[in-house]
Amino acid sequence: MIDLKSLVRTIPDFPKPGIEFRDISTLLADGEGFAVAVTAMVELARPLNVDRIIAIDARGFLFGAPVAVALGAGIIPARKKGKLPGATLGVDYALEYGTDRLELHVGAVLPGHRALIIDDLIATGGTAMACVSLLREAGAEVAGAIFAIDLPDLGGANRMREAGVNVSSLMAFAGH
Ligand SMILES: O=P(O)(O)OC[C@H]1O[C@H](OP(=O)(O)OP(=O)(O)O)[C@H](O)[C@@H]1O
Ligand SMILES: Nc1ncnc2[nH]cnc12
């Protein structure tokens, strides 16, 4: 059985002093490890019966796309500010090491859609909660959120659960 955690590299003090950066590039570069991670996400996602995957810019695209294909669901990119060409809904948010803005195309998700958020990692939950608020503003149902990595000590997954979101992850790292 492959140990996914051992394929994640930790780089101290990136992008700021005090942050332990959990680098998925080493997991992605391992063909077997990446396949095991995607398959595990698909198995978590299947019972949620979703019709749209919302993948968060940029590392979330790497996991969201293969999961969407496996489920036969469409994929909607939730993008950082200024990247989407059409009319957008947007929200500013804070994350573990900065602030940013997340945007969705108007009309990309509609009332009645069952949406699943996918990203590589949840830390404070600022990014994922911004995505939840955009989806709810658009009238979609947030059926769940799946992350490769949870940093539980930063509280994001609990924050999402308190907001009524079904959250799961493939692995957790203690500390920051
Ligand atoms: O739970 P939070 O504290 O919000 O942090 C998690 C977010 O931080 C990282 O994205 P980043 O903004 O660094 O963007 P990237 O995917 O483009 O590298 C990660 O991919 C998550 O989206
Ligand atoms: N510690 C961390 N490592 C990698 N990505 C992150 N996004 C937010 N915090 C992070």
Q: Is residue 14 part of a domain?
A: no
String of DSSP letters for 19-54: -EEEETHHHHTSHHHHHHHHHHHHHHHGGG--SEEE
Residue 6, CA atoms < 13 Å, CB-side half-sphere? 4
Q: Could you read off the pLDDT of 19-45 as tens digits, one per residue?
A: 999 999 999 999 999 999 999 999 999
pLDDT for res 116: 98
Q: Is residue 152 part of a domain?
A: yes
Q: Nearest 10 degrees: CA dihedral of 132, 54, 167, 71?
A: 150
Adjacent-strand bridge partners of 79: 103
CATH of the domain at 149: 3.40.50.2020
Q: Is residue 5 part of a domain?
A: no
Number of domains comprising the chain: 1
CA 121 to ligand 2 centroid distance, Å? 7
Q: Are 150 and 90 in contact (CB under 8 A)?
A: no
Place of tokens 């496996």: 70
Q: Is residue 2 part of a domain?
A: no
Mutational pocket test of ligand 2: of 97, 100, 159, the residue with most ligand atoms within 8 Å of the beta carbon? 97
CB count in 10 Å sphere of residue 78: 30
pLDDT for res 175: 84
Phi-psi category of residue 81: left, alpha or beta, with phi > 0 → left and psi -120 to 50 → alpha: beta
Q: Is residue 41 part of a domain?
A: no
CA 140 to ligand 1 centroid distance, Å? 22
Q: Which atom of ligand 1 is nearest to the CA of 151?
A: 1
Taking the C-alpha atoms of residue 37 and residue 158, their distance in angstroms, rounded to an integer, is 22
Q: What is the pTM of this model?
A: 0.98
CA 87 to ligand 1 centroid distance, Å? 23
Residue span of the structural domain in which 66 resides:
49-172
Q: Ligand 1 in contact with 96 (CB < 6 A)?
A: yes
What are the residue ranges in the chain where pLDDT is below 70? none
Query: Rounded to 5 degrees, what are φ and ψ at 82?
Result: 80, 5
